[in-house]
């Protein structure tokens, strides 16, 4: 693999991580789930049992109660294993609030912000780069 190919993979996977973040903040759960492989494993940073499979991940997203949210993803580090496999880590900062009935700005939740990490296994598929594993963890208690 050439240095340019490696950099292109790093850029593509960084873009995947950011696309996921924007879809999540837009509550576009179908777009979020589409960024996983069919048999992916996902664990929310807030804990709970891991969820396996794109359909189950989508169902989990759809079951979420509405909330205002904004994720900031930082310190993205992409390690290319080979031309089809990548490991990545990133820091997540999550601001949350309740959706208002008057379309005004939400009031920030007292538990905000939450700070944690994502550890990802990303693979190249026919659909492009997708999360095979996305494991979140909190770094501080709220």
List pLDDT tens digits, range 85-105. 999 999 999 999 988 777 788
For the cut 90, the answer to whether the pLDDT of residue 71 exceeds it is yes
pLDDT value, residue 116: 96
Domain coordinates in residue numbering, the chain = 3-138
Higher pLDDT, 80 or 64: 80
What is the pLDDT confidence band of residue 4, given thresholds at 50, 70 and 90? very high
pLDDT value, residue 101: 77
CATH of domain 3-138: 3.10.450.50
List pLDDT tens digits, range 19-39. 999 999 999 999 999 999 999
For the cut 90, the answer to whether the pLDDT of residue 138 exceeds it is yes
Render the chain in DSSP notation, one character per residue: --HHHHHHHHHHHHHHHHHHHHHHHTT-HHHHHHTEEEEEEEE-TT----EESHHHHHHHHHTSPP-EEEEEEEEEEEEEEETTEEEEEEEEEEEEEEPPTTS-PPEEPTTPPEEEEEEEEEEEETTEEEEEEEEEEESS--
């Amino acid at each position: 693999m050439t240095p340019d190919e490696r950099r292109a993979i790093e850029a593509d996977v960084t873009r995947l991580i950011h696309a996921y973040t924007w879809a999540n903040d837009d509550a576009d759960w179908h777009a979020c789930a589409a960024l996983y492989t069919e048999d992916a494993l996902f664990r929310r940073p807030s804990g709970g049992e891991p969820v396996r499979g794109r359909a189950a991940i989508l169902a989990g997203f759809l079951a979420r109660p509405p909330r205002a949210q904004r994720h900031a993803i930082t310190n993205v580090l992409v390690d290319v294993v080979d031309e089809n496999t990548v490991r990545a880590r990133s820091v997540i900062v999550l601001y949350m609030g309740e959706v208002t009935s008057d379309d005004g700005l939400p009031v920030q939740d007292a538990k905000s912000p939450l700070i944690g990490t994502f550890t990802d296994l990303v693979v190249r598929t026919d659909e492009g780069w997708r999360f095979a594993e996305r494991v979140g963890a909190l770094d501080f208690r709220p």
